[in-house]
Amino acid sequence: MAQHGQEYMERQRRAPLYDALVQHAKKRPHSFHVPGHKMGASFDRTAKEHFQSLLALDVTELSGMDDLHQPEGIIAEAQALAAEAYGAEETRFLIGGSTVGNIAAIMAVCRPGDKILVQRNCHKSVYNGIIMARAEPVYIVPAVDPKTGVATCVRRDDVERTLQAHPDAKAVFLTNPTYYGMGVDLEKMAVTVHRFGIPLLVDEAHGAHYGFHPALPLSAMQSGADLSVQSTHKMGTSMTMSSMVHVQGERIDRARLYRALAMIQSSSPSYPLMASLDVSRRHMVLEGAKEIDRLLPALSRLRERIRHLPWLYTPTVEDRNRNVYSTLDPLKLLLSLRTKQHTGYQLQSLLESQAIYPELAHPDHILLAASVGTTEDDLDKLAHVLEKIEYHTEQVHTIFQAGILASSFLQESVTPMHEALDAEKKTVSLAEAVGAVCAEMVIPYPPGIPLLVPGERITRETIAVLQELRGSGARFHGVADADLHTIAILR
Ligand SMILES: Cc1ncc(COP(=O)(O)O)c(C=O)c1O
């Protein structure tokens, strides 16, 4: 983060929640409370070896252990330290991922029937939040990167124009950065949105490391957003499922936000997960910048090595077009295929056969996510395997040839999502669905961005994209038929 004094560093060396759990475990307490494994005393014998140290920290809301839903003690302290480190006025820990943060954020700003501007390539949790809040989405279509075919960010002009057309909108909700690490100039975006007197909410699930190094883009909080949701477990170092929501300013009704979180989060949130947020924050403050200093040159060397492979293209921030995206996370490696000799899924399998596991695959590309935990050895092995892959020069295209555009298409919305979900449905083949109204969410996963949402008119183009995705081995969430031979439509 920005330059901080000695006192800040002293404060940030503390991890009150983690420390309290360790101190409690040292007492060898007689547990007459849940969870039933009693700090690991009774547990599967074979698995215990791996679980024991965490089980010792797995307690519940005992005296002195505070309560996530009414934080006043060590959880409040840990959250305050996180707020300071992430540049927020207030931070709340999330056990349930950015998913619960996104849902609660929408429930905080929208009452039934309220409009909210969202980019059409947002994560399914945003759609689910809109359904639960009974809100009305106004979609903004993102740009598509012509060099890779992936949907990127919304343009500021489009946001402004849409806000002028919908002056009653309650908020703008953007995804920044995208799964692929692409982002807008959020500072300018915040100024634009605030001119309309409404809050800017940011799904920053993929930006938990932003702001911790000068070579990384500014975080949403640093850029002036009112609320941001970060999957600390994705690009930070906490455990899977643990995330944070940050707020600042007066535009968000925090009482509504916390009430919504209390409704959708477990009443028994995991202490090991919360403690992992506490120590992940400390780690990013104390070690993050150093680790990123080490990582960035190693990533540049990798990019330099693979730049010479004509069958793939990896975007770098230098060759961006600002109309498509302004910032690019250097820790994300999008390997866009310049050959039809193999699909992204085949490349993924090939890498996996060498024990290299990508973040996601798509017919036209794969995405690799580095982090402060990535080693030179990881990068060297990756470069080595990529360099060995055979290709036929004559089948390599110098420009991207669209197979499936990973963009989402704006469809005609016929019925509100929540009504379509509960309406009478029938199941038909994909071919028969053209022209019908979709009754489920069709979500290629990852990245978890719905191509169709309930209530949208199904077009021939969308069916063609779905058929091609299905044919090339994509997986789908949200649908009753996971193989997508059939689709649910309104009767
Ligand atoms: C853009 C985006 N937002 C939100 C989420 C949900 O995050 P979580 O897995 O922490 O619930 C994801 C998950 O992939 C995502 O890609």
Pocket of ligand 1 (CB under 6 A): 97-99, 102, 123, 125, 175, 179, 203, 205-206, 231, 243, 447-448
Confidence band (pLDDT; 50, 70, 90) for 409?
Answer: low
pLDDT exceeds cutoff 60 at 434: yes
Secondary structure letter of residue 286 according to DSSP: I
Confidence band (pLDDT; 50, 70, 90) for 3?
Answer: low
Testing ligand 1's pocket by substitution, the residue of 93, 95, 99 carrying the most ligand atoms inside 8 A of its CB is: 99
In this structure, the answer to whether residues 381 and 462 fall within a common structural domain is no
Residue type for position 291: E
Tell me if 122 sits within 8 A of 453, measured CB to CB: no
Residues near 262 by beta carbon (within 8 Å), at least 6 away in sequence: 69
In this structure, the answer to whether residues 361 and 425 fall within a common structural domain is no
Separation of CA 339 and ligand 1 centre (Å): 30
Three-state SS at 394: helix
pLDDT tens digits for 118-174?
999 999 999 999 999 999 999 999 999 999 999 999 999 999 999 999 999 999 999
Residue 138, in any domain of the structure: no
Indicate the pTM of the whole model.
0.96
Separation of CA 174 and ligand 1 centre (Å): 13
- pLDDT of 446 reads 76
Residue 358, in any domain of the structure: yes
Among 364, 395, 426, identify where a domain stops.
395
In this structure, the answer to whether residues 436 and 391 fall within a common structural domain is no
| CATH number for the domain that contains residue 484 | 3.90.100.10
Which atom, in ligand 1's list, is nearest to the CA of 101?
11
Which atom, in ligand 1's list, is nearest to the CA of 96?
11
More confident residue, 166 or 341: 166
> Largest alpha-carbon pair distance within the chain?
71
In this structure, the answer to whether residues 311 and 360 fall within a common structural domain is yes
Residue 451, in any domain of the structure: yes
Residue 298, in any domain of the structure: yes
Secondary structure letter of residue 399 according to DSSP: S
In this structure, the answer to whether residues 301 and 352 fall within a common structural domain is yes
Residue 37, in any domain of the structure: no
What is the arithmetic mean of pLDDT over 322-342?
94
Total count of domains within the chain: 2
Tell me if 220 sits within 8 A of 173, measured CB to CB: no
CA geometry: angle 416, 418, 424, nearest 5 deg = 95
Residue 359, in any domain of the structure: yes
Confidence band (pLDDT; 50, 70, 90) for 282?
Answer: very high
Confidence band (pLDDT; 50, 70, 90) for 402?
Answer: confident
- pLDDT of 31 reads 95
Confidence band (pLDDT; 50, 70, 90) for 4?
Answer: confident
The parent domain of residue 296 ranges over 289-395
Q: What does each C-alpha distance from 232 to 43, 99, 383 come to in angstroms?
A: 29, 12, 27
